[in-house]
């Protein structure tokens, strides 16, 4: 599909829905807002423009048409519409995502992330399976502090790991299965697991929590609540991933005696730990400890901002680094607009209408059946999305609205169950999560193999996650 069609299709969908008479129970303004929302989601999928630009266009159109009423149902004004359009920029979760990108920059600038990856290669890299677990452990160590799995895996792990296959003449066009294919797939699969394991392991996790809090006010899930809830399924999948890849997509060479020596040489080039690396490590541990143990003393976003201030004070990063980080500012604008767009669905009354309609279809089914059905829909609908952020924004508010209408539904459990699946669902397609195109285009894994592996791992991940979490998570959150 060419760029012109990608730009025209969202406009066509918006125009069609905009002029469709609303169904009974839904206002004209709600239908028109839905039209803009659907156009935004389709544009996020097709990407005729950057996601942040699409979000800005969406909130501007909705605000300009005054489609979103004030709190309490009062008619919208120009002032209230502007206030709604900018509401995402005051959302604490959005700023937590922004600051976490600064943590990733700190790891990169100090070289600490590369040092950790090389150290693990030195310790575990003598055998193929050991290499797989070394790459996995490097991702695990970085995941709590780097919410962009693209920056974590694509920007930190991949640049280190890509040097290993050529050492043994495993190249994309020559013996890719010798070690390259196994290693690249293990890196990608692992980062999807760690993205689910930690609240701060994936940016859409934080977005999901914000949307859950809006759908069911009063619900709060802390960093530690998330970790405890995800630990059993996450630990099983983390331990299983390199081994499963070793069985399903085995390397043809099993022993690699030169890798530890190569990693040791690279570490020697880095020299001893620098003051900035040590400072970055201590500040990262401080943030993690405060997220785990200090939730009652300080909000998670405030912790992140305070640690960023310390990073500036101790010159781990400079203010020029902060203001020049286009990725972080782009993400801030992107998520802020999406948070506002998602909240608008509730303000115009669409979510209540949808929940009332859905409740009729769910009546008579057991609670377990309903919860499992919602998880299946949320997980496998990711085949239609090239962005976990777009998926979260489009699907999560609607499924939560459906669940709210079910009498007796434990919304804290359901919200956590759905949000926790965001990372692992990224494995199912070559476009499912940020690092996917990096590993897909590296040339070590054929297109056919990529889809087959995505299907196998997706089914295994879903089965383990559903079987463990549906029984354990309600206990963990009680």
Q: What's the pLDDT band for 185 if we cut at 50, 70, 90? A: very high
Reply yes or no on whether the pLDDT at 19 is more than 90: yes
First to last CA, the chain: 48
pLDDT digits (tens, 9 = 90+) for 237-271: 999 999 999 999 999 988 878 888 888 888 898 89
Q: What's the pLDDT band for 314 if we cut at 50, 70, 90? A: very high
Q: Tell me the C-alpha distance between 459 and 181, whole Å.
A: 20
Reply yes or no on whether the pLDDT at 293 is more than 90: no
Q: What's the pLDDT band for 57 if we cut at 50, 70, 90? A: very high
pLDDT score, position 87 = 87
Q: Mean pLDDT: which of 245-254, 335-344, 445-454 is highest?
A: 245-254
Q: Tell me the C-alpha distance between 441 and 226, whole Å.
A: 33
Among the listed ranges 57-66, 254-263, 288-297, 424-433, which one has the minimum average pLDDT value? Answer: 288-297
- Give the residue with greater pLDDT, 61 vs 127: 61
Determine how many CB atoms are found less than 10 A away from the CB of residue 454: 22
Reply yes or no on whether the pLDDT at 386 is more than 70: no
Reply yes or no on whether the pLDDT at 346 is more than 80: no
Kindly tell me the sign of the dihedral angle through the C-alpha atoms of 85, 86, 89, 91.
negative
Q: Tell me the C-alpha distance between 407 and 15, whole Å.
A: 36
Among the listed ranges 116-125, 229-238, 267-276, 304-313, which one has the minimum average pLDDT value? Answer: 116-125
Q: Mean pLDDT: which of 161-165, 223-227, 296-300 is highest?
A: 223-227
pLDDT score, position 359 = 66
Q: What's the pLDDT band for 295 if we cut at 50, 70, 90? A: low
Q: Mean pLDDT: which of 106-115, 183-192, 357-366 is highest?
A: 183-192
Reply yes or no on whether the pLDDT at 306 is more than 70: yes
Q: Which residues pair with 127 in a beta bridge?
A: 255
pLDDT score, position 344 = 85
pLDDT score, position 121 = 79
- Give the residue with greater pLDDT, 59 vs 301: 59
Please state the rounded mean pLDDT for residues 407-411.
89
pLDDT score, position 363 = 67
Reply yes or no on whether the pLDDT at 104 is more than 90: no
Residue 299's region, left for phi above 0, alpha for psi from -120 to 50, else beta, is beta
% of the chain at pLDDT higher than 90: 38
pLDDT score, position 418 = 96
pLDDT score, position 360 = 66
Closest CA relative to residue 113, chosen from 83, 89, 140 = 140
pLDDT score, position 28 = 92
pLDDT digits (tens, 9 = 90+) for 64-103: 999 989 877 788 888 999 999 998 888 776 787 787 778 7
Please state the rounded mean pLDDT for residues 399-419.
90
| 125 alpha-carbon distance from chain centroid | 29
- By CB atoms closer than 10 A (0-12, 13-18, 19+), residue 312 is middle
Instruction: List, as one string, the DSSP characters of 60-119.
Output: HHHHHTT-SPPTTSPPP-HHHHHHHHTGGGG-HHHHHHHHHHHHHHHHHHHTHHHHHHHH
CA distances from 425 to 193, 194, 338, 381 (A): 9, 12, 20, 9
Closest CA relative to residue 190, chosen from 158, 216, 225, 165 = 158
pLDDT digits (tens, 9 = 90+) for 29-39: 999 999 998 89
Reply yes or no on whether the pLDDT at 230 is more than 90: yes
Residue carrying structure tokens 């690249």: 184
Q: What mean pLDDT value characterizes the chain? A: 87
Please state the rounded mean pLDDT for residues 222-242.
95
């Amino acid at each position: 599909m060419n760029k012109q069609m990608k730009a025209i299709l969202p406009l066509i969908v918006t125009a069609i829905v905009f002029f469709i008479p609303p169904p009974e129970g839904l206002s004209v303004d709600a239908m028109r807002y839905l039209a803009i929302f659907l156009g935004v989601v389709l544009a996020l999928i097709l990407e005729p423009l950057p996601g942040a630009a699409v979000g800005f266009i969406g909130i501007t159109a909705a605000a300009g048409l005054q489609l979103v009423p004030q709190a309490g149902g009062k008619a919208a004004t120009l002032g209230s519409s502007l206030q709604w359009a900018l509401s995402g920029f005051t959302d604490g979760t959005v700023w937590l995502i922004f600051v976490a990108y600064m943590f990733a920059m700190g790891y990169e600038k100090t070289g600490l992330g590369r040092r950790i990856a090389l150290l693990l290669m030195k310790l575990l890299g003598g055998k193929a399976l050991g290499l797989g677990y070394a790459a996995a452990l490097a991702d695990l160590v970085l995941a709590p502090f780097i919410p962009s799995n693209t920056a974590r895996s694509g920007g930190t792990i991949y640049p280190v790991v890509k040097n290993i296959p050529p050492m043994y003449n495993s190249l994309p066009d020559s013996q890719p299965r010798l070690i390259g294919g196994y290693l690249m797939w293990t890196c990608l699969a692992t980062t999807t697991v760690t993205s689910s394991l930690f609240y701060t392991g994936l940016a859409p996790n934080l977005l999901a929590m914000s949307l859950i809090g809006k759908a069911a006010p009063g619900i709060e899930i802390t960093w530690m609540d998330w970790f405890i809830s995800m630990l059993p399924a996450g630990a099983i999948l983390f331990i299983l991933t390199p081994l499963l890849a070793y069985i399903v997509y085995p390397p043809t060479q099993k022993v690699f005696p030169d890798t530890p020596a190569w990693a040791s040489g690279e570490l020697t080039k880095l020299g001893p730990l620098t003051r900035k690396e040590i400072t970055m490590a201590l500040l990262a541990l401080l943030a993690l400890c405060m997220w785990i143990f200090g939730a009652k003393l300080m909000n998670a976003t405030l912790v992140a901002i305070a640690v960023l201030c310390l990073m500036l004070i101790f010159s781990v990063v400079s203010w020029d680094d902060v203001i020049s980080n286009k990725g972080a500012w782009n993400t801030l604008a992107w998520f802020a607009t999406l948070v506002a767009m998602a909240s608008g669905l509730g303000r115009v009354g669409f979510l209540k209408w949808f929940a009332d309609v859905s409740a009729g279809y769910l009546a008579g089914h057991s609670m377990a059946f309903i919860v499992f059905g919602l998880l299946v829909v949320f997980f496998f609908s990711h085949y239609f999305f090239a962005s976990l952020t777009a998926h979260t924004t489009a699907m999560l508010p609607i499924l939560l609205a459906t669940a709210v209408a079910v009498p007796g539904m434990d919304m804290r459990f359901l919200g956590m169950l759905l949000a926790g699946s965001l990372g692992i669902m990224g494995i199912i397609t070559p476009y499912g999560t940020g690092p996917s195109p990096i590993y897909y285009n590296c040339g070590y894994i054929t297109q056919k193999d990529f889809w087959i592996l995505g299907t196998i791992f997706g089914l295994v991940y879903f089965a383990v996650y559903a079987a463990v979490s549906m029984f354990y998570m309600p206990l963990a959150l009680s």
